[in-house]
Structure formats: C-alpha cells, structure tokens
C-alpha cells in the first residue's frame, strides 16, 4: 500500500496538482482572508504655529521666507522621502497643548490629503498666543497614548517661548520617560529678527512690540481674548527699538533634549537632516494586518508554476543527456 502511494506521488504529479487546485478553488469561492502582520514606521508631525514662527529669517530659492513656511517645505520633503507603508499624523502646537489635524494615515494612499493639510498650516490655527514647549511635549505623548499608535514624535519649533521660562512656570521633567521617541527639529536663524504681526484677515500690520506679554492671548497679564481680532488692527511696535526680537533657541531645545534623553537637530533643506530623521524609526513599531484576499488563487498559480517548471527542467536535462550520449 505504501509503495503504491509513493508511485502515485512520483508518477501522477499532474493528477495530484489538479486535485489540489480543485480543492483550493472551492476554498477560494468563500473569499478567505489571511492576516499577515508586518512592521511599519509611524511619525507624528508636530508643528509649532505660535506667532514667532512667522518671523522671516530663513531662505529658499534665494528668497526670505517665514519659519512656518520653511517648516512646511521640510514636512513635504520628509513625506516625499519616506517609503510607502509609512504612517504620518499631522498635529499643531500652541500655548501648552496640541491638537490633531490628521490622525495616522498611510503615506501613499493618503498622499494628497497629507500635502494639502501641510500647505494649509498657519498661525491662525493657534487657539492661544502664548507658548509652553515642555507642556506641549507632555500633551503630545498623552495624545499618542490615546490613539494607541506608537510613533516617533517630530516637533518642529523655534524654541521661542512666551512668557519665557522661569522658576515659577517651569515644568518638572524628571520623571519623563518618553524622550527616546522625540526629535526636536529646530526652525529659524541664529540672529534675532522682529516678529511680523497680522490682523484677523492675515494682513501684515507691523511688528510685535516689547509689550508682547500684555497682548498675547492666554499669557500672563493678557488683556485680549484674541489678538488677531483687534479693531481696527492689533497694536504693533511704535518704533524699531520697541520691536520684540526672536531667534532659534537651539541652546534651550538642546537643554530640554538632554534632560529627557531626546534628540535635537536643526532643520535644513540642504543637508542630511531629513535622512537623519527618517533613520530614527520608532522603537515600538506597529504590527499592521495585511489582508490578502483569495490566497488560494495564489497557491494554485504557484503549484502550476512549480509543476511546469519542473517538467521543463526535466525535459531540458533529458535533451542534454541524449545529446552527449550520442
């Protein structure tokens, strides 16, 4: 009985493959789904939309552009440089909190949505005018936990806080354990420049004055609920010497990074900062389910290929042997 079975397997391969194909076709009729888990990389793009990001101290194509516009170019370069299967979320930071604009989505299937959202980022999205970066970090981690979607947090900011950090408003980061999943991307120049001020219609009306803390909504001593809606226009610096000056506070961002074991890089379109960002993949990669519909069909094709490849090879070898035996 055993020898007959072996002979059947040896000499009736075509018959067995045909039987297997019939069985698999019957299975495929029910549209079975195979769950294949794979590792993916996810990035939480967090953009500072506070007023200082309107300062123009960066250049693109030999033209001076604002920090927020430069950030948008960096974001699009990061998305474009990533592979299909990478996930991105888009979030904004203002005051002491973050808000989600686009929840984690796969890059290639949602490319237009990602780019369109990036293009629309601007200062008027901010709900308050003050800026507390350390509070924003904790808010970002809290949001990520609520989504249950571990991601590398890329925080694009100039590090310019209002009001400035002091012993009273400083937050304790001693027990913060998520720094290895955060990259601060510094945006801005090293020289102090004035910060443009716009009205609610996004029209330039002058520069922020040194009394910035009295007019920032939500800041200490604030008199206005929304500085962008002052009538007829918000107050501005009366003279050049009275302008509030801003720059990239690399030292402060590096200090925070060292404190929480995060990474700090300066965002630059011309160097390898984008490659450096994408190399830092999240340690906790997501296990994504890949649904492979009708796997039986693929198995059938594979069996047929194996069968006829084997027959072709056998015929080819037989032909060679007969040639040399003559």
**Residues written for the chain:** 326
Q: Running DSSP on this structure, what letter comes out for residue 165?
A: P
Say what the pLDDT of residue 220 is: 35
CA distance 118 to 197: 22
CA distance 302 to 74: 44
Cis bond leading into 78, ω under 30°?
A: no
Say what the pLDDT of residue 55 is: 97
45 burial level (CB within 10 Å; 0-12, 13-18, 19+): buried
Predicted TM-score (pTM) of the model is: 0.75
CA distance 196 to 246: 10
Contacts of residue 148, Cβ cutoff 8 Å, sequence gap at least 6: none
H/E element, 208: none
Pairing between strand 286-293 and 97-106?
unpaired
Those residues of the chain that have pLDDT short of 50 are 217-228, 292
CA distance 204 to 156: 24
324 burial level (CB within 10 Å; 0-12, 13-18, 19+): exposed
Other Cβ atoms within 10 Å of 160 Cβ, number: 25
CA distance 104 to 147: 9
**Residue 136 φ/ψ, nearest 5 degrees:** -65, -35
**Residue 92 φ/ψ, nearest 5 degrees:** -125, 150
CA distance 87 to 93: 20
Say what the pLDDT of residue 5 is: 56
Contacts of residue 136, Cβ cutoff 8 Å, sequence gap at least 6: 46, 48, 93, 96, 97, 98, 155
């Amino acid at each position: 009985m055993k020898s007959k079975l072996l002979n059947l397997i040896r000499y009736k391969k075509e018959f067995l493959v045909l039987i297997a194909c019939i069985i698999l076709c019957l299975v495929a009729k029910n549209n079975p789904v195979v769950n294949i888990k794979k590792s993916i990389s996810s990035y939480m793009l967090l953009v500072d939309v506070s007023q200082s990001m309107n300062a123009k101290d960066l250049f693109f194509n030999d033209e001076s552009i604002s920090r927020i516009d430069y950030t948008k170019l960096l974001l699009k370069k990061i998305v474009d440089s990533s592979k299909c299967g990478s996930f991105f979320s888009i979030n904004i930071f203002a005051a002491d909190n973050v808000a989600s604009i686009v929840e984690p989505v796969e890059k290639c299937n949602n490319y237009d949505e990602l780019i369109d959202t990036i293009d629309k980022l601007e200062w008027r999205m901010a709900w308050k005018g003050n800026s507390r970066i350390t509070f924003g970090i904790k808010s970002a981690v809290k949001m990520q936990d609520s989504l249950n979607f571990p991601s590398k947090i890329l925080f694009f900011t100039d590090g310019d806080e209002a009001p400035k950090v002091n012993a009273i408003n400083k937050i304790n980061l001693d027990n913060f354990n998520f720094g290895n999943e955060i990259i601060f991307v510094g945006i801005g120049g090293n020289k102090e420049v004035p910060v443009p001020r716009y009205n609610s219609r996004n029209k330039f009306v002058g520069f922020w004055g040194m009394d910035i803390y009295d007019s920032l909504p939500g800041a200490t001593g604030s008199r206005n609920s929304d500085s962008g809606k002052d009538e007829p226009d918000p107050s501005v610096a009366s003279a050049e010497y009275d302008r509030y000056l801003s720059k990239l506070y690399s030292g402060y961002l590096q200090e925070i990074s060292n404190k929480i074991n995060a990474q700090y890089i300066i965002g630059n379109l011309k160097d390898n900062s984008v490659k450096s960002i994408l190399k830092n993949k999240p340690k906790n990669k997501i296990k994504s389910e890949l649904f492979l519909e009708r796997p039986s069909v693929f198995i059938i094709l594979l069996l047929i290929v194996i069968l006829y490849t084997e027959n072709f090879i056998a015929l080819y070898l037989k032909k060679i042997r007969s040639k040399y035996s003559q």
